[in-house]
Structures are given as structure tokens and as C-alpha cells.
Amino acid sequence: MIKFTIIFISILWLVGCSTNKTIDQSAKKESIMEKANNYSGLVKLYSDKVKKSDSEENRFKLATYYYKLNDYEASSYHIENLLKRNSNNPEYLFMQSDNFYKLGKFKLSLRLINSAIKSKSDVAKYYNQKGIVLSSLKKYEDSIVQFNQARALLFDNTKIKNNIAVSLYMEGKYKESLGMLMPIYLRNPQDKKVTSNMILVLSKLRDKDYVMQILTEKYEVSRDEARVIYNKLA
């Protein structure tokens, strides 16, 4: 339990009707698998579609489902195919940036997200992505500038505040990080990412009682286990 908790924390009329019915059935099948998070099934579905019709839409869906399957290398391979067809498509650039980020290729990720922003400069999630990459490159102040740009474009407030808090935490600004996290934690204490970050920040601030309270109440660990976790994090 202790080890698990620490690890957790650190897409002719008769013929026409027949075709529409087939399309409807395919869309229904895709929707069912989406709701079930059956991404392996969706990869198979779109692999078959690409074999029959290698459209940009089908290929992009295939890349998306590989991404959701956490196979970022495979997703990257298919996005690269799309970028050869349409090198300025900002959504392709954005997804490829995220693939490279997940693969630990931060400089390539930054170059791609910069290209996406150059192609379309009013998309909040692009600036959020850039902020995440910059933070991974230890450019914390620059990352916060990008997060605030995403915020100005009305990106999700909870996600932005959490991301700013992470940059502040990584920079060693624990009190400022807590100031960002506390309001969103109090509004939604069930958010797992925010809760995990709260535990990390509070541990660095030596707030042992609060950390142990969160651990025992939300992770169902004993006080002895919570004490061990706190000592490791602090």
C-alpha cells in the first residue's frame, strides 16, 4: 500500500441507404468502444479503416487512439505521416508535440508546439502545452507566462492553476505553489492530481498533520503508513 501510494503521488437510393446504415453502425460501434475505453479495439477498427481508405481523418483517429492507448511512439509514427501531407496543420503539430513530450523529447516537443502556435495563435491548449514543455526544460518563469496566456484564452482554470503550481513547486517556491493549489483543492477535494500535488507541497512545507490527514482519509492508509510516506516525501 505504501509503495503504491508513493508511486501514485510522484476517435442509387437503395445503395445510399445501405451506405448510411453502415456508417451509422460504425459510428455506434466506435461510440460504444469509446465509452468503454476500449482503445485497443478502436486501434483495430481504425487500422482496418486506414487499409480501406487512408484519409487524413482516418489516419488522425488512428493516431489519437494509439495516443489514448499510451503508445506514443505509434501515435507519433502516424502523425508524421499526416505532417508529410499537411505540414502546417496545427492539430497535427500539437499532437506530435505531446507525443514527443511523453517520449521525453522536450526540445523537439517545444519546436512543434511553437509551430502550432505560429499556425494558429488563439488556441488556449497550445499555450498550456508549451508551458508544460518549458517547465520540463526547467524554464519555470517562461512556463508560467505561457500558462497565463492559456488562462487569458479561457483554458480550464483548475488545470491552469494546477500547472502553475507544479512549475512553482519545481522551482522550489512551495508557499506560492500552495497558494495556487489550496483554492482549487478546497473546491474539489476529489481531484486526484490536485490532491497528489497538495501532498507533495505540504510535505515540503513540513505540514505533517495536514499531510497525514489527507493520506488517511483519501488513500485509506494507516497512520503508521502515512507517517512513512510523509517522511519519504519531506
* Distance of alpha carbon 63 from alpha carbon 76, whole angstroms: 7
pLDDT at 17: 44
pLDDT at 27: 83
Neighbours of 57 (CB within 10 A): 11
| DSSP letter string, the chain | -HHHHHHHH---HHHHHHHHHHHHHHHHHHHHHHHTT-HHHHHHHHHHHHHH---HHHHHHHHHHHHHTT-HHHHHHHHHHHHHH-TT-HHHHHHHHHHHHHTT-HHHHHHHHHHHHHH-TT-HHHHHHHHHHHHHTT-HHHHHHHHHHHHHTT--HHHHHHHHHHHHHHTT-HHHHHHHHHHHHHH-TT-HHHHHHHHHHHHHTT-HHHHHHHHHHHS---HHHHHHHHHHH-
pLDDT at 18: 44
Asked if residues 30 and 21 have their Cβ atoms less than 8 Å apart, the reply is no
pLDDT at 29: 85
Asked if residues 82 and 59 have their Cβ atoms less than 8 Å apart, the reply is yes
> Over the chain, what is the mean pLDDT?
91
pLDDT digits (tens, 9 = 90+) for 46-72: 999 999 999 999 999 999 999 999 999
pLDDT digits (tens, 9 = 90+) for 164-209: 999 999 999 999 999 999 999 999 999 999 999 999 999 999 999 9
pLDDT at 88: 95
pLDDT at 159: 95
CA–centroid distance for 3 within its chain: 24
CA distances from 83 to 73, 79, 146, 177, 220 (A): 15, 6, 25, 38, 47
pLDDT at 23: 60
The three grid cell numbers given for residue 28, joined into one nine-digit string: 455506434
Over residues 226-232, mean pLDDT: 94
6: burial class by Cβ within 10 Å (0-12, 13-18, 19+)? Answer: middle
* Distance of alpha carbon 153 from alpha carbon 47, whole angstroms: 36
Q: Given a cut of 70, is residue 212 above it in pLDDT?
A: yes
pLDDT at 43: 97
Q: Given a cut of 60, is residue 77 above it in pLDDT?
A: yes
Instruction: With cut-offs at 50, 70 and 90, classify the pLDDT of residue 11.
Output: very low
Over residues 143-154, mean pLDDT: 98
The three grid cell numbers given for residue 178, joined into one nine-digit string: 500552495
